Amino acid sequence: MPVITYRDALNQALREEMQRDDRVFIMGEEVGVYQGAYKVSKGLLQEFGEMRVVDTPITELGFAGVGVGAAMVGLRPIIEFMTWNFALLALDQVVNSAAKMLYMSGGQYNIPIVFRGPNGAALQLSAQHSQAWESWLAHIPGLKVVAPGTPYDAKGLLKSAVRDENPVIVLEGEMLYNTKGEVPTEEYLIPLGKAALKHEGDHCSIITHGKMILVALQAAEQLAKDGIRVDVLDLLSIRPMDVEAIATTVRKTNRAVVLEEGWEVAGIGAQVVDYIQRECFDDLDAPVIRVHQMDVPMPYAKNLERAAKPDLPKTIAAVKKVMYLEQ
């Protein structure tokens, strides 16, 4: 099986879906001539032309709105935001138009649109460019939200997102584009709303998503050296969330750590813990512990940024604490 980068997996998904359906087009800042800020759209302008790979001015609200209108009349737009931090300027169209149009039109208008781009912190991009957007967007009825953490998942989820009849948010980890993994040559889809068990154990469950899956898997390897076996559940889809998969792993291990990149208050982890206490309260042998970013805007200084982020040592410590191995 070929080993390719996360960005190339996304590129393959875009190319295959544009070849499959001529209603699919991509639009955003620098997606054409520059081939994408992170080179995800590399080669697409040359293959499909400027009518289907559309460079836009720096106007997120404008081209997001054009995308919504295009979806209303039967096209299938893929809107690339250079970063989800910039998408804040487009949230009126994402939240008030794309998410609500099917409902407000009494079912007359499906909005088959994908909004995608890098999410979360990179390295020393400071507070305004380091935010994790999952809980903001998953809060909105009418949006589907996915967060792939591997090249395999990135390709399969993006292809499913393009084919969905509803607005889908694809949150690509900003530090993941150069990461590598196995991706099949044959076509495959990953269904929206289904989690994946990435590592098996019976002592504790680590429930996570997006680029934190890499931290969780590293934690599983380190903990195994101490004889601690953990389940690692990758949510993949934030909305809809696979509550059955969450319940299955917690009932198996009786302990849970919820790991996420974002802030604590009203975070995705809070929603996961709510599901656990409703579905698995009598199965728990310990309170659920959350690992998340510190409750501060992301610092610029390298040492402070490192301290603010969720990481491997914090995850390992949480697992040991939930097992009563550390205080």
Cα 314 from chain centre = 21
- Region for 174 from its dihedrals, namely left if φ exceeds 0, alpha if ψ lies in -120 to 50, beta otherwise: alpha
CA angle 286, 290, 295 (to 5 degrees): 145
With beta carbons less than 8 A apart as the criterion, state whether 139 and 87 touch.
Answer: no
Catalytic (active site) residue 129:
yes
With beta carbons less than 8 A apart as the criterion, state whether 131 and 298 touch.
Answer: yes
How far is CA 303 from each of CA 120, 123, 173, 215, 254, rounded to the nearest angstrom? Answer: 18, 11, 21, 19, 35
Q: Which distant-in-sequence residues (6+ apart) come within 8 Å of 193 by Cβ? A: 144, 237, 240, 241, 242
Pairing of strands 230-234, 196-199: antiparallel
- Write out the two tokens for 316: 């390992």
Containing 11, the helix (H) or strand (E) segment is helix 6-20
Cα 207 from Cα 140, distance rounded (Å): 22
Token pair 């009849």 is at which residue? 165
With beta carbons less than 8 A apart as the criterion, state whether 256 and 205 touch.
Answer: yes
Cα 206 from Cα 196, distance rounded (Å): 12
Catalytic residue among 129, 139, 264, 279: 129
Catalytic residue among 17, 60, 134, 260: 60
With beta carbons less than 8 A apart as the criterion, state whether 257 and 205 touch.
Answer: yes
The residues carrying an active-site annotation are: 60, 129
